[in-house]
Structure 1
């Protein structure tokens, strides 16, 4: 936000349409957050040109059931789109994500100061992320639930149940055909190590 303000661009402070955002919006683990943010960017960049336009962003939010007000979205995103660009590049998307996180939750420095060393905070964030996939709330992610979320995100893996089941098998340590929270947590920690 400061960079946009320094460049003389107007910055629209985000507002919440429905309730408070999930704490998993910004994970405190930097490497996990960077990997996740890159994946989100790639999902939103529907045509793969390295930029996310307001239309691409609005379509992705609409697909997730988060009805986007295009005028507000354009005003907020526009402050981060560089002159001459059609949309947000990854660096711009990262800056927007950080600004939104700071606006909703306070700065990362504040978070680190207040929450340093608290494993239960990471656990809570993992639980929030798990709930996104555990659609029926039974404590497990089934192949059908995973496929449903992947479809909403427009991922090609969602077109084949065999691909979805293979994704489940890759993390299903007890071979019950579904992912419990412990397996999900191990998978996410593996991404953290890989992304570090």
Structure 2
């Protein structure tokens, strides 16, 4: 997966910090994780994090640690078994399916401009001042020109964005 920029992470943190106290509770963090398809209990999350809330720097560190674990587990060396690479591809595909489902709000198998904008807004990555039009964002990867992304177009977008 591609890394999220620090300023985007800061906006996500600010959106999660509903009461504006400069801390994100484990409940708020767990809500975000569930939205992106990660199911974890609050007890497991607390044992992972080691405390009941995170300030911005701790939130950035938490993201950095899970990102580096993701990157470390997704690298293959020439000494690894081919079966491990196949499992990795299946996991990658499964992760993409989960990510696609987050954006496909109505479950019709397509990501529309409205769905893209709603999800980006919820994550704090979109506002009226963003200046980007979702139709333009979708058009770049919309190979059949139907104005929305199906799973294969979404997958191509993710792989092209990552590389």
Classify the TM-score, shorter chain.
Answer: 0.5 to 0.7
Aligned mates of 2:129, 2:29 — CA distance in 1: 17
SS at match of 1:156: coil
Q: Contact 2:26/2:46 (CA < 8 Å) preserved in 1?
A: no
Which sections of structure 2, spanning at least 5 residues, go unmatched? 16-21, 36-41, 75-79
1:118-137 superposed matches below 5 A: 118=87, 119-137=89-107
What's the TM-score once normalised by structure 2's chain length? 0.60
May I ask how many residue pairs the two structures share in their alignment? Answer: 144
Which sections of structure 1, spanning at least 5 residues, go unmatched? 1-31, 48-52, 102-106
For residue 171 of structure 1, report the CA deviation from its aligned partner: 1.6
Q: Contact 2:139/2:145 (CA < 8 Å) preserved in 1?
A: yes
Of the three residues 172, 182, 189, the one matched with 2:142 is: 172
What's the TM-score once normalised by structure 1's chain length? 0.52
1:55 aligns with 2:21: no
Q: Contact 1:133/1:141 (CA < 8 Å) preserved in 2?
A: yes
SS at match of 2:142: coil
1:11-30 superposed matches below 5 A: none
Provide the alpha-carbon RMSD of the alignment.
4.4
Equivalent residue number for residue 39 of structure 2: none
